[in-house]
């Protein structure tokens, strides 16, 4: 069982800051027993190659991009393609984050095309799904996210699906304007995701206001295979503390003998 613990830096960090973060992360990981925990970091596209260079090949830290176009190349001004982010060092691509859906016209259909492009080039798609507050209030969370996932993953073979990570990130829980979800609010959505995809995908992650106080409890929710973190991991020491918490929680869970929920 893999416990995925990663962070997207969103539109933050200069090259010098990115380099320092990667160096601090490597130093911190040197003294850490990660066990089943698999770290991943998602810098802005400008910093991918810098971070890739610092991490080198044996760090165990997966590197990701925050987005990539579905076409390999062409007249798409301002976009970067999957082969381009892969060339810069990305092994994973975050797709369909709610900020991209809200501000940049990302749709289930463009997300589907991008998931297919990532898989075509051997990268891991990290598909983000999540419902707005009004949908939650109307009791529609599970249906909404299952619908998003089904549209984005439409047409994939079982083999392709097994390489996909899904991050459930309720829109109302993300960012400075969000509020942390209470674990009991997440049981229903994760049970729904697990029954649809639990044995089929590489992992089901939770994201939205994850911090040092709530990380262990969130990882204790049935079917949660990892955490996708923003603000609390934007400094390397914060991320390292979250990795430590996750490693400790995963070790306890392993000792308690709880069954993994996915095939990874």
Minimum CB distance to ligand PGA smaller for 204 or for 229: 229
Minimum CB distance to ligand PGA smaller for 33 or for 228: 228
Radius of gyration of the chain (CA): 17
Report the C-alpha gap between 42 and 10 in whole angstroms: 8
The residue with tokens 């082969």 is 83
Q: Which residues contact 160 (CB under 8 A, 6 or more apart)?
A: 119
Which of the following is catalytic: 131, 169, 223, 244?
169
Shortest distance, CB of residue 167 to ligand PGA, whole angstroms? 7
Which tokens belong to 19?
């380099």
Shortest distance, CB of residue 169 to ligand PGA, whole angstroms? 5
Shortest distance, CB of residue 21 to ligand PGA, whole angstroms? 16
Binding site residues, ligand PGA, CB under 6 A: 8, 169, 174-175, 178, 207-210, 228-232
Shortest distance, CB of residue 256 to ligand PGA, whole angstroms? 27
Which of the following is catalytic: 97, 131, 223, 244?
97
- Let me know if 187 is a catalytic residue: no
Minimum CB distance to ligand PGA smaller for 77 or for 245: 245
Give the residue at shortest CB distance from ligand PGA: 230
- Let me know if 169 is a catalytic residue: yes
* DSSP one-letter code for 213: T
Cα distance between the two ends of the chain: 5
Which tokens belong to 216?
């262990």
The residue with tokens 């969103």 is 10
Q: Which helix (H) or strand (E) holds 247?
A: helix 236-256
Minimum CB distance to ligand PGA smaller for 192 or for 229: 229
Active-site amino acid positions: 97, 169
């Amino acid at each position: 069982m893999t416990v995925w613990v990663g962070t997207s830096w969103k539109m933050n960090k200069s090259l010098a800051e990115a380099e320092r973060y990667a160096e601090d992360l490597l130093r911190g990981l040197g003294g850490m027993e990660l066990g089943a925990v698999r770290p991943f970091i998602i810098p802005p596209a400008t910093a991918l190659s810098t971070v890739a260079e610092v991490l080198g090949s044996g760090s165990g830290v997966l590197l990701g991009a925050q987005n990539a176009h579905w076409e390999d190349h062409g007249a798409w001004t301002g976009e970067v393609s999957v082969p381009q982010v892969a060339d810069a060092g990305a092994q994973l691509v975050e797709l369909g984050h709610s900020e991209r859906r809200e501000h940049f016209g990302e749709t289930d259909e463009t997300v589907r095309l991008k998931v297919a492009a990532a898989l075509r080039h051997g990268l891991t798609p990290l598909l983000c799904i999540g419902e707005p507050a009004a949908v939650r209030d109307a009791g529609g969370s599970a249906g909404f996210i299952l619908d998003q996932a089904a549209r984005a993953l439409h047409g994939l073979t079982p083999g392709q699906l097994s390489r996909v990570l899904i991050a459930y990130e309720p829109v109302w829980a993300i960012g400075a304007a969000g509020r942390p979800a209470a674990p009991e609010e997440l049981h229903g959505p994760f049970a729904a995701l697990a029954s649809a995809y639990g044995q089929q995908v590489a992992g089901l992650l939770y994201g939205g206001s994850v911090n040092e106080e709530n990380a262990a409890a969130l990882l204790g929710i049935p079917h949660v295979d990892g955490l996708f973190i923003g603000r609390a991991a934007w400094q390397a020491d914060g991320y390292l503390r979250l990795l430590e918490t996750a490693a400790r929680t995963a070790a306890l869970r392993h000792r308690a003998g709880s069954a993994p929920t996915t095939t990874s």
